[in-house]
Chain A
Amino acid sequence: MTNDVLTGGGQGARTSRARYSSWIGKVARSPFYRGTIGLLAENRVARLVVLLAVPLAWIAFFNIGPILQMGNISLLANYPLMDGDEPVYTLAQYALFFQESLYFVPFLRSLVFSLVVTAATLVVVYPVAYYIGKVIRPASRNKALLLLLTPFWAGEIIRVFSVIMLLANRGAVNALLRELGMIDRPIPMLYTYFSLSFGVVYLIALYMLLPLYSSIEKIPNSLLDAAADLGAGPLQRFRRVILPLSRDGIVSGCSLVFLTSIGVFAAPLLLGGPNTVIFPEIIAQLFHGSNDKWPAGAAFSIIMLLISLTTVGLFMRVVGGRNVKLM
């Protein structure tokens, strides 16, 4: 594309615009249009601004905006404000979190649960990612990935219910064990930490699989061959070559899984039991309770957000080093 055409100043451009007699031609010949397009054509920064305006506005309004609003509500003494009420700002809701073990204990439980789920997901998914990235033929990799991704096309709730159908007293696992004569009475697997962890790992495995596969697949086979030639056994090759070179994938996967699992809400509600109540449930209770406690719910959400991001930030810095990226 020549600069002549870009600036709209060429003979060709002028004659092609003159050919249009409809409204589009009028618009094209108008001074405003010519001025605007001319400015954009001449100025790369202006073009970048136009291109980025929509995504940035989207992020500001739909991602950052709600968080700022949540922050604002968390500082109010009462919300929703009734007509005529003046907003009163206070830090009492934040103090409440640290004063009451009632809220602090489920938060710690959530934190530990998310760390355990993250570790479990890594342990479960790493061999799968390695198998797809390195063991099977390159031609079959996309098929294998597609096979693994298929369940994720279904909604989260549907997948949670599939876990319920699997682990319920009259579910598939108990039915199979009974048919095999291994049990007389069903094993209560549902509504326990096991069912909750199993469900959450299943729900968010994808966030671990893709970054891991991506990093493992990039490891040159020549390095593994060289390590083998130098006498490294399978375990040593894994520890000294594969693991360090897949570090970026591990950091990205763990960060995504941790952030997702700490905020997961539907699965604990449907798969958890009386002793597996985690923090998002407590927050929901505050929002949905009989006497509205939006400010407390908002404050606890902000606290959870900040501590989650800090945990992930520290993890990325310590394990991943300076240059690690999430995706």
Chain B
Amino acid sequence: MTLRNPTRRTTLKMMGTSAGLIAAPSIIRPAYAQDNVLNITTYDKFLPEGFVEQFEKDTGIEVRIRLTDDQGKQYNLLAAEGADPTTDIVTVAGHRLSQFMASDLLQPIDPARISTWDNLAGPYKGAPQLVRKGEVYGVPLLAGFEGMVRNTDYTKPSDSWGLMFDPEYKGFTTYIISDFVSITMKYLGYDGDFVAYVDKPEEAQAAVNAARDFLIEHKDMVRKFYDGGAEVQQMLVNEDVYVAQTWSGPAAKLIMDGFPIELSIPKEGTYGFLYSFNLVNHAPNVDAAYKFFSALLANPEVGAAMTRQSGFASAFSGVDKLLTDRERAAIALPEEQIARIQFFAEENRDMKNEMIDRAVAEIKAA
């Protein structure tokens, strides 16, 4: 038998295979509404595996987790899926809510349907980042900030972001460019969150350009531009870098593991953010999502596990008591440093994103 001269048996087999392949899409289980399924898009190490397994056992709902490492990716995917989302819950940072809402990607949640809603810590129950026009748009999970990390074995103490530009550590620093442009603007005395630049694009552009030029001038300080928490942890452990701008979570996690680093908020200040679970508009499994939210808030041990895994501070009440002294120390900072955190605002996001994205590309290309 050859391809050019097939036998009848081969032809029949091929026809059978063809029929099977053509029928496959209807055989493969689609991701549409199913009572016993819940699709969640979240960051690595946010959801404790034990909790998910227990939830599945208790409710019979299968939890399918899709990992993300970037708000932009999450936004683009949801926007592309439009009215047919393949995920029910996403993990949005508070300051990005407005962008998701402008594209009609989220729906408000009804706290009355979450039986354990009162188990949230007081400050987070009505967190302004999650409230729009009187409606709540997410279940607060974890709070974090952009911190400065230094390896205590190889660097001197410092209370300034200037350590990131200290020639002594040339080639031993790292940062996420898009985050660090904002921080550099703050360091140089500008508004890195663009709230002061509403309707002032020229002023904003001048500030961004100043930060961009400063970072290009000091590009030789940088060992690598990194993208995610695991990457900066690895670089610190491998001693490829000594000083870094990191999210508080990955840094706190290293401190919990006993690695010789210090996490601080320099005197020039920094930005904070609040992660929440948000219900996707047109989500196919809304009831399952509410069951999940109720289970999530039912036990502070879940919040403690999330803090241990991610390094971020939990938004659930009662978590503090469950942490060890070392764990508490890793996420606790002196009060005067905490006071330097400015939570990202919502105003002027489009201008900020547009200008910072461009600056990022220019710094990379320089």
Q: Which residues in A have some Cβ–Cβ distance to B below 8 Å? A: 1, 5-6, 8, 37, 40-41, 44, 47-48, 50-51, 53-54, 80, 82-83, 101-103, 105-106, 164, 168-171, 186, 188, 190-191, 269-270, 272-275, 277, 281-282, 285, 287-294
In the complex, the answer to whether B14 meets A274 with C-beta atoms within 8 Å is no
**Closest residue of chain A to B21, judged by CB?**
A54
Judge whether B5 is part of the interface by a CB distance below 8 angstroms. Answer: yes
Bound complex: CA of A282 vs CA of B80, how far in Å? Answer: 20
The one of B10, B75, B238, B360 that contacts A292, using a Cβ cutoff of 8 Å: B75
**B residues near A289, Cβ cutoff 8 Å:** 72, 353, 357, 360
- Does B33 touch A at the CB level, under 8 Å? no
Among candidates B3, B17, B83, residue contacting A54 with C-beta atoms closer than 8 Å: B17
- Residues in chain A near residue B349, CB distance under 8 A: 290
**B365–A105 CB distance below 8 A:** yes
How many A-B residue pairs have C-beta atoms within 8 angstroms? Tell me.
131
The answer, yes or no, to whether B167 is at the interface (CB within 8 Å) is no
A-B contact pairs, 30 of them (CB 8 A): A5-B8, A37-B8, A40-B11, A50-B11, A50-B14, A51-B14, A53-B18, A54-B17, A82-B79, A82-B103, A83-B82, A105-B365, A168-B238, A169-B240, A170-B237, A170-B239, A188-B240, A191-B223, A191-B224, A272-B224, A273-B224, A275-B219, A281-B364, A285-B357, A287-B76, A290-B99, A291-B354, A292-B76, A293-B357, A294-B76
The answer to whether B49 has its CB under 8 Å from any CB of chain A is no
A41 CA to B3 CA in the complex, in Å?
14
Residue of B nearest to A40 (CB): B11
B225–A274 contact, CB under 8 A?
yes
Chain B CB count within 10 A is highest, among A269, A282, A289, for: A289
For A164, list chain B residues within 8 Å (CB): 234, 238
Nearest CB of chain A from residue B351's CB, rounded to whole Å: 10
Known: A102-B361, A275-B219. A50 touches B239 (CB 8 A): no
B332-366 contact mask (Cβ, 8 Å, vs A): 1 or 0: 00000000000000000110111011101110110
Interface size on B, residues (CB 8 A): 54
Contacts of A82 in B (CB 8 A): 79, 82, 103-104
B187-235 contacts to A (CB < 8 Å): 219, 222-225, 227, 231, 234
Inter-chain CA distance A273–B235, complex, in Å, is 12
On whether the beta carbons of A277 and B365 are closer than 8 Å, the reply is: yes
Query: When the two chains form their complex, are residues B223 and A273 in contact, meaning their CB atoms are under 8 A apart?
Result: yes
Residues of A within 8 A of B21 (CB): 54
Cβ–Cβ < 8 Å partners of A190 in chain B: 238, 240
A-B pairs with the 6 shortest C-beta distances? A290-B353, A168-B238, A277-B364, A191-B224, A274-B222, A80-B79
| Per-position 1/0 for B1-41, Cβ under 8 A of A | 00111111011101101100100000000000000000000
| Known contacts A54-B14, A275-B219: A80-B72 contact under CB 8 Å | no
Q: Which of B55-88 contact A (CB under 8 A)?
A: 70-73, 75-76, 79-80, 82-83
Would A102 and B239 count as touching, CB distance under 8 A?
no
Q: How far is the CB of B284 from chain A (nearest CB, A)?
A: 18
Cβ–Cβ < 8 Å partners of B107 in chain A: none
B contact residues around A47 at 8 Å (CB): 6, 11
- When chains A and B are docked, how far (Å) is the Cα of A190 from the Cα of B79? 37
Complexed CA–CA distance, A292 and B8 (Å): 53
Shortest B231–chain A CB gap in Å is 8
Whether B238 lies near A171 (C-beta < 8 A) is yes
Q: How far is the CA of A287 from the CA of B71 in the complex (A)?
A: 12
Distance to closest chain A CB from B342 (angstroms): 19
Cα A282 to Cα B237 with chains together (Å): 28
Q: Determine the distance from Cα of A54 to Cα of B104 in the docked complex, in whole angstroms.
A: 39
Tell me which of B5, B104, B234, B240 has the highest count of chain A C-beta atoms within 10 A of its own C-beta.
B240
Given contacts A37-B8, A47-B6, A106-B365, contact A288 B224 (CB under 8 A): no
B 250-264 contacts with A by CB, 8 A:
none
Report if B119 contacts A (CB, 8 A). Answer: no
Contacts of B70 in A (CB 8 A): 288
Known: A37-B8, A51-B14, A54-B14. 16 other contacts (CB 8 A): A8-B8, A48-B6, A51-B11, A54-B18, A80-B79, A82-B82, A168-B238, A169-B238, A170-B239, A191-B224, A191-B240, A274-B225, A282-B365, A290-B354, A290-B357, A294-B76
Q: Is the CB of B171 closer than 8 A to any CB of chain A?
A: yes
Whether A50 touches B18, Cβ cut-off 8 Å, given contacts A80-B80, A101-B365, is yes
**A-side contacts of B12, CB under 8 Å:** 37
Closest chain-A Cβ to B170's Cβ sits at a distance in Å of 10
Q: Which residues of A contact B357 (CB under 8 A)?
A: 285, 289-291, 293
User: What 1/0 flags go to B237-252 for Cβ under 8 Å of A?
Assistant: 1111000000000000
Residues of B within 8 A of A293 (CB): 357
Once bound together, how far apart are the Cα atoms of A281 and B5, in whole Å?
48
Complex Cα–Cα for A277 and B79 (A): 28
* Least CB separation from B102: chain A residue: A82
Do the beta carbons of A102 and B362 come within 8 Å of each other?
A: yes
Cβ of B299 within 8 Å of any chain A Cβ, yes or no, is no
Kindly provide the distance from the CB of B348 to the nearest chain A CB, expressed in whole angstroms: 12
Point out the residue from A6, A48, A102 that lies within 8 Å of B3, measured CB to CB.
A48
Give bound CA distance, A285 to B234, whole Å: 22
Report whether A288 and B6 are in contact in the complex, using a CB–CB cutoff of 8 Å: no
Nearest neighbor of B219 in chain A, beta-carbon distance:
A274
Hey, which chain A residues are within 8 Å of B116, CB to CB?
none
Distance A188 CA – B239 CA, assembled complex (angstroms): 10
Of B6, B353, B362, B364, which is within 8 A of A291 by CB?
Answer: B353
Judge whether B227 and A188 touch: CB under 8 Å: no
Report how far A321 CA is from B26 CA in the complex, Å: 48
Q: Which of B14, B104, B349, B364 has the most CB of A within 10 A?
A: B364
B178 within 8 A of A: yes
